[in-house]
């Protein structure tokens, strides 16, 4: 085999070096572009309670991304290091707790709601809370840790122990968020479930609401806070402002939410 002349070898080595350098420079430019686009740009990220889905999606300012789940699950994610820009909860306890832990700013109460008994549309088996005590009735409620579940148990405690125990004995499903309760009732998997009135209004005619006595209604208030270290603090504050007086406030009213409690 004939050896290449030394000058040819040197020329080939130089060409290879130039190719490697060009490739390295190209990689550096690509990485730099990706880093820039993934920095302070991008969407405002809002982690919100499932019951807010209809209203928030109707409101949705430009450049906003939503993550809906149970309020307790979203709070747990923030404690584990997830950093959305905003946390909107179906209660005030969770935002207040995260604020005390230094994970979110001072919470703002922006809406109120009330509980009803949801039944499949057209059903007339359940007409009052007393009907839920009948043997053989099947009920879905939220789990103890999610706001709808805590509100439900608070409501039941005001009925007295006999009625409360009879209703809880008929519970067949403890759901991780109110969407789970809505789904079980809408599918006919259970006879009834405790949900927010806004969930019935947003169910597209699949559910009917049975009103509950005012004397047992819990106070249902929604809190929102800017997450510490949010990438878009100005956009986050503008989103909150819109919920209090603007397009967001109108979307909440249209979905059946009530104004935040006075004081």
For the stretch 81-94, what's the b/e string if a residue is b when 16 or more beta carbons lie within 10 angstroms of its beta carbon? eeebbbbbbbbbbb
pLDDT value of residue 261: 81
Q: What angle do CA 153, 50, 71 make, to 5 degrees?
A: 60
Separation between Cα atoms, residue 23 and residue 251, nearest integer Å: 52
Task: Read off the pLDDT of residues 105-142 as tens digits, 9 standing for 90 and up.
Answer: 999 999 999 999 999 999 999 999 999 999 999 999 99
Residue 219 annotated as lining a ligand binding site: no
pLDDT value of residue 61: 92
pLDDT value of residue 10: 44
* Parts of the chain with a pLDDT under 50: 1-40
pTM of the model: 0.82
pLDDT value of residue 190: 98
pLDDT value of residue 263: 61
Q: Cβ(149)–Cβ(41) under 8 Å?
A: no
208 φ, ψ to 5°?
Answer: -120, 155
Average pLDDT for the chain? 87
What domains appear along the chain, each with residue ranges and CATH number? 44-112+221-254 (3.40.190.10), 115-216 (3.40.190.10)
Residue 178 annotated as lining a ligand binding site: yes
Residue 181 annotated as lining a ligand binding site: no
CA-based nearest residue to 48, from 34, 40, 58, 39: 58
Beta strands across the sheet bearing 86-89: 64-69, 44-49, 86-89, 220-226, 108-113
pLDDT value of residue 41: 58
């Amino acid at each position: 085999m004939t050896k290449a002349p030394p000058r040819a070898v040197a020329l080939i080595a130089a060409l290879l070096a130039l190719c490697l350098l060009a490739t390295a420079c190209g990689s550096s430019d690509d990485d730099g572009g990706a880093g820039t686009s993934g920095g302070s740009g991008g969407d405002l990220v809002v982690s919100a309670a499932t019951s807010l889905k209809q209203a928030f999606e109707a409101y949705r300012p430009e450049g906003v991304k939503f993550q809906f789940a149970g309020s307790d699950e979203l709070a747990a994610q923030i404690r584990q290091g997830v950093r959305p820009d905003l946390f909107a909860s179906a209660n005030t306890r969770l935002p207040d707790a995260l604020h005390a832990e230094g994970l979110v700013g001072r919470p703002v109460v922006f809406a109120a709601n009330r509980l009803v008994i949801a039944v499949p549309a057209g059903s007339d088996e359940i007409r009052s809370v007393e009907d839920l005590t009948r043997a053989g009735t099947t009920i879905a409620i939220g789990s103890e840790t999610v706001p709808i579940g805590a509100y439900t148990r608070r409501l039941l405690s005001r009925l007295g122990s006999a009625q409360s125990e009879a209703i809880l004995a008929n519970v067949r499903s403890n759901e991780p968020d109110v969407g789970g309760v809505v789904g079980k009732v809408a599918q006919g998997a259970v006879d009834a479930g405790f949900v927010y009135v806004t969930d019935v209004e947003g169910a597209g005619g699949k559910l009917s609401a049975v009103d509950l006595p005012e004397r047992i209604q819990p106070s249902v208030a929604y809190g929102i806070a800017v997450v510490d270290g949010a990438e878009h603090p100005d956009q986050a504050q503008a989103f909150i402002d819109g919920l209090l007086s603007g397009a967001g406030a109108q979307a909440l009213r249209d979905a059946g939410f009530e104004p935040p409690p006075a004081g």
